[in-house]
Amino acid sequence: MARGSTVIVIVASLASAVPSVAAAQSSRVPIRFAEMDTNRDGVITRDEWRGSDRSFDVHDWNRDGRLTGDEVRLGAQRREASDDDWAFDSPEREYAFDDWTPRGFRAVDHNRDNRITRDEWHFDRESFRRADHNRDGVITRAEFLSEDQEDDDRGDTFANLDANRDRRISRDEWHAGRRAFDALDDNHDGFISRAEMLGTDAPPELFASVDVNHDRIITRDEWHWSRASFDARDIDRNGRLSREEFDGVASRPPASAAYRAGQDRGLIEGREAGRGDKQQTGAWDLEGQRELETADSGYEPRMGSREEYQAGYREAFRRGYREGFNQR
């Protein structure tokens, strides 16, 4: 009887040990944001997360208040919408890229040489630099799909990571791997500036970038945004966009007084911001301009619709920023 009890005790002890062994094994599997997983359980709670609520929400795909499964698996990507849902509203924007899948790679690798160069990239410079792990100016398929197990957290933005709004990212604010941080910290001062994250050069003019074959026409095969956005600009319905159609000039309805007032103010302030960035930092930073967040500088109710004023302000500010930045 005593011997049987001993066997039962041993079996029970082994059974109780199984979960801890499994937990130990799972903790050894590389995960994203591993440095934040303080209890090494493969789950990152909001208490463990370093950063803002907005940044946490970017990664909490199922909104359950913790990061688990694919949310912390290296190379996993959330796909909620097809590219048919991606809107295009301005030729002066740097559009974010979020289709880090084999399909997304094929869509951008225009010449099918199994790598993506800057000439083929029509999106934000930030995500390109984050995905280019060895900083050679090319994104290989392995880098694009994170097959090299590099945790670069390209899905989050500089604005989200800069929690204290000092326009630089410290190691405490950084969410990805140390190697990715060091690769971006060009001057090795322990911070990543916006210039280090984005580069200093202005992005290429978007029409010329999207026009892959340089025939001065954008076809649907070259278009990366929604079909509705394409059709809204294709005024003559020939399945091709001229530069005027691409810029939206041909399809733009008559502007309201509020829209025109916003344009007037936005153009002036956009030129000032672009000229200021060129002189002070030498780095293009249109998407980092706080004026674009509210876009109501100078607005008064007597002008008309606030929304139309903001739309006009943003359109002209973006155009003015390039003019100011390029001014000699």
What pTM did the predictor assign? 0.73
15 and 43 assigned to the same domain: yes
Report CA-CA distances (Å) from 209 to 69, 110, 261, 289: 37, 12, 31, 23
Quick check: is 286 in a domain? yes
Q: Residue 112: inside a domain, yes or no?
A: no
Neighbours of 121 (CB within 10 A): 19
Residue 139 inside a domain? The answer is no
Is 124 domain-assigned? no
Residue 86, pLDDT score: 77
* Judgement on whether residues 266 and 234 belong to the same structural domain of the protein: no
Residue 251: pLDDT over 80:
no
Domain assignment present for residue 148? The answer is no
pLDDT tens-digit series, residues 304-328: 999 999 999 999 999 999 999 998 8
What total of structural domains would you count in the chain?
A: 3
pLDDT of 250: 67
Q: Are residues 216 and 278 in the same domain?
A: no
pLDDT, tens only, 220-231: 999 999 999 999
Check whether 147 has a pLDDT greater than 80.
yes
Region of residue 15 (left: phi > 0; alpha: psi -120 to 50; beta: else): alpha
Q: Does residue 309 sit in the same domain as residue 273?
A: yes
SS (H, E, C) 138-190: EEEHHHHCCCCCCCCCCCCCHHHHCCCCCCEEECCCCCCCHHHHHHHCCCCCC
Q: Are 226 and 82 in contact (CB under 8 A)?
A: no
Among 40, 56, 72, which residue terminates a domain? 72
Is 52 within the bounds of a domain? yes
Last residue of a domain, one of 224, 247, 270: 247
What pLDDT is recorded for position 197? Answer: 87
Residue range of the domain that includes 21? 2-72
Considering the domain boundaries, does residue 141 fall inside one?
Answer: no
Task: Name the pairing type of β-strands 218-219 and 191-193.
Answer: unpaired
Assign 16 a pLDDT band (cuts: 50, 70, 90). very low
Q: What is the pLDDT of residue 94?
A: 87
Residues 237 and 271 in one domain: no
Last residue of a domain, one of 194, 218, 247: 247
**pLDDT 10s digits, 267-307:** 999 999 999 999 988 888 898 888 998 999 999 999 999 99
pLDDT at 290: 87
Reply yes or no on whether the pLDDT at 11 is more than 60: no
Q: Which residues make Cβ contacts (< 8 Å) with residue 262, sequence separation at least 6?
A: 295, 299, 308, 309, 310, 311, 312, 313, 314, 315, 316
Mean pLDDT of the residues in the chain? 85
pLDDT in tens, 57-83: 888 888 899 999 988 887 777 765 555
Check pLDDT > 70 for residue 24: no
- Residue 59 covered by a domain: yes
